[in-house]
Amino acid sequence: MKKIFKNIAASSLFSRLTEMLYTGIGSIICFHRVFPDSESHADLGLQNAHMTPDTFAGLMDILIEKNYTFLSMDEVHELLIKRRQIRKVVAVTFDDGYKDTFEYALPVLQERNIPVAVYVMTGDQNEILIPWLILLMDVIYQHSVISFTIENNVSQFRTDTSYGKKTAINSILDLIFSSEKNQIAHLRKIIHHISPGSKPPQNILLPYDKLQHYNKNPLVTIGAHGIDHSNLKALNKPDVEKQFNDSKKCLEKVLGSPVVHFAYPYGGREFAGTREFQLAKEAGYLTAVTTRYGHIFPGHAEFLMCLPRISIGPAVCGDSQLFQFLMNGCIAMMKNKGKRFITA
């Protein structure tokens, strides 16, 4: 089936048609981690979010060869509000602010003079969900059976198969993300039930107070990603406002410059909606990006708080043809069942 799809999508007529109808003026593409395979032990269970520097460089070179125009998020905002009619633009973004974004991805981008937006969190590293989520993946991948008790409810999963591990992970994440408060406390408790004494990986995120050096780089835009990567949609309104406002103020104090771009943690429809879009606008952001899958159209000038992105996942690594399908609108057409303009 995959081969049949590729043959159809590779058709020059089909490719031109989807590009004309579904790519709009361009794309905001989303990455997470770039580091050598030799360091993948630090990211067991979340390997689907990473690629090697060579793979990342190859993807950037494809965009250059295809004559894309690279824009910063400031330029994306200007392009939309001025309703400039151009095509084939792309903005590169990285979520979470991993150290390896700056160590491995940034040199690739600098060599090619490509701007990048990096969305970072401002909480204490021990109070950010990301390292604990990585630990959860590692713990589940190391066990054939897991069990834990939350609020007198006992849960048990067989995790001796890939399907079982994914089921357990998704069930735990549903439980965590539905919590209005203390999402990280719930996660810690579950992990310590499964594997007492386990500790999350240390120092994988660049502390936000170390960002000033990178903010001086004209290719780098630092954006906010909340305080601790909580599911905003599950929080009450004052806590959501705190995520928007406090992260913005903290970053602006450290960087000495305005922070006007935001990325919603997780970014799917179950994690950010109309309330969050409005609160982001009230907090003073000029753009906010989701992980709704889609390309950018002129009409997004009216939806600057819910700009869609193209997430670059594991299937793309080493598959340049699939990457081109992502960029030419073919995948967006299928994922969105023919809908072109993606907002909320």
163, 194, 225 - which closes a domain? 194
Instruction: With respect to residue 343, please indicate whether it lies within any of the assigned structural domains.
Output: no
**pLDDT tens, residue by residue, 93-117:** 999 999 999 999 999 999 999 999 9
Angle between helices 162-177 and 129-141 (to 10 degrees): 150
Q: 23 and 90: one domain?
A: yes
- Nearest partner of 208 among 121, 132, 126, 131, judged by Cα: 121
Instruction: With respect to residue 199, please indicate whether it lies within any of the assigned structural domains.
Output: no
Instruction: With respect to residue 344, please indicate whether it lies within any of the assigned structural domains.
Output: no
Cα–Cα distance, 310 to 160 (Å, whole number) = 33
pLDDT reported for residue 182: 79
Percent of the chain with pLDDT over 70: 91
User: Is residue 24 over pLDDT 70?
Assistant: yes
**pLDDT tens, residue by residue, 168-220:** 999 999 888 888 777 888 899 999 999 999 999 888 999 888 899 999 999 99
Q: 51 and 164: one domain?
A: no
Q: 242 and 271: one domain?
A: yes
Q: 162 and 224: one domain?
A: no
Cα–Cα distance, 99 to 202 (Å, whole number) = 11
CB neighbour list of residue 20: distance below 8 Å, 6 or more residues apart: none
| Residue span of the structural domain in which 84 resides | 2-126+205-335
Q: 264 and 225: one domain?
A: yes
Q: 270 and 325: one domain?
A: yes
Q: 209 and 303: one domain?
A: yes
Q: 51 and 149: one domain?
A: no
Average pLDDT over all residues of the chain: 88
Q: 164 and 236: one domain?
A: no
Instruction: With respect to residue 187, please indicate whether it lies within any of the assigned structural domains.
Output: yes
Instruction: With respect to residue 200, please indicate whether it lies within any of the assigned structural domains.
Output: no
Instruction: With respect to residue 71, please indicate whether it lies within any of the assigned structural domains.
Output: yes
Of 27-41, 111-125, 270-284, where does mean pLDDT reach its minimum? Answer: 27-41
Token pair of 62 as six digits: 């494809």
Neighbours of 123 (CB within 10 A): 21
CB neighbour list of residue 175: distance below 8 Å, 6 or more residues apart: 150, 186, 190
Strands 153-158 and 145-150: antiparallel
pLDDT bucket at 337, cuts 50 / 70 / 90: confident
**pLDDT tens, residue by residue, 247-303:** 999 999 999 999 999 999 999 999 999 999 999 999 999 999 999 999 999 999 999
Asked whether the beta carbons of 269 and 344 are under 8 A apart, the reply is yes
Q: 97 and 220: one domain?
A: yes
Instruction: With respect to residue 115, please indicate whether it lies within any of the assigned structural domains.
Output: yes
Q: 297 and 172: one domain?
A: no
pLDDT reported for residue 23: 86
Q: 173 and 219: one domain?
A: no
Instruction: With respect to residue 184, please indicate whether it lies within any of the assigned structural domains.
Output: yes
CB neighbour list of residue 178: distance below 8 Å, 6 or more residues apart: 231, 234
Number of domains observed in the structure of the chain: 2
DSSP classification of residue 84: -
CA angle 36, 322, 93 (to 5 degrees): 55
Asked whether the beta carbons of 60 and 127 are under 8 A apart, the reply is no
pLDDT reported for residue 314: 67
- CATH number of the structural domain spanning residue 282: 3.20.20.370
Longest dimension (CA), the chain: 59
User: Is residue 37 over pLDDT 60?
Assistant: yes
Token pair of 150 as six digits: 């939350």
- Nearest partner of 294 among 4, 7, 14, 30, judged by Cα: 30
User: Is residue 53 over pLDDT 70?
Assistant: yes
pTM of the model as a whole: 0.91
pLDDT bucket at 318, cuts 50 / 70 / 90: low
Beta bridge partners of 28: 91
148, 170, 194 - which closes a domain? 194
User: Is residue 75 over pLDDT 90?
Assistant: yes
